[in-house]
Structure 1
């Protein structure tokens, strides 16, 4: 089951990278380039964070060999990395809107996304620390 999940995650990441690099023209943080290139970082980082890293964090107890404390540490670390990727993805969306002169947080998608990241951060903050 773990191998199947990791293969599907690899497929999702590959398809996202193909879409971002080939069909959307890549990623850029520069304002002088097309604002569309700034926006493409949003789905890329959200997929890496909330799909790939979170999926690996959920499976950490089955994947990581060693004592329970090591498994807990990897689980926590992957959740923190996931949250960091999601924060960069959120920043990309806000930067795109700012650079393009569009209002932020005006759609259901944006409100659900903010709520999801806030609840995820709240959940991660409640994780027990290794050794505790």
Structure 2
């Protein structure tokens, strides 16, 4: 099962279609834009490859946790987590996660790395701004 997270400026439709055509056992598509993932899910959903679309922002750990939970409840274990951003795509294999570590913490770290690879430096959110003193 594959989770596809679409970032601002990214496009997940082609990626979702490729995974569906390749025989994915299921897809969960998350997009920042309301209704976009749901419409794509309705288009791609078929027997053998159920597709769920949700609105979500993978910049927020709570949204990633919700995606992981939704995927597990409706589609089963996540094999791949894909991020589609303005500078391309990055696919993370979750089967490679060490079993003894907190899986959600590892997913958060991997997704953070993936976002860094597909978002241009000038568009990355500023997280540590020193306060004027």
> Counting helix residues as a fraction of each chain, which structure ranks higher?
1
> Counting strand residues as a fraction of each chain, which structure ranks higher?
2
TM-score, normalised by the number of residues in structure 1: 0.25
User: Which of structures 1 and 2 has the bigger CA Rg?
Assistant: 1
TM-score, normalised by the number of residues in structure 2: 0.25
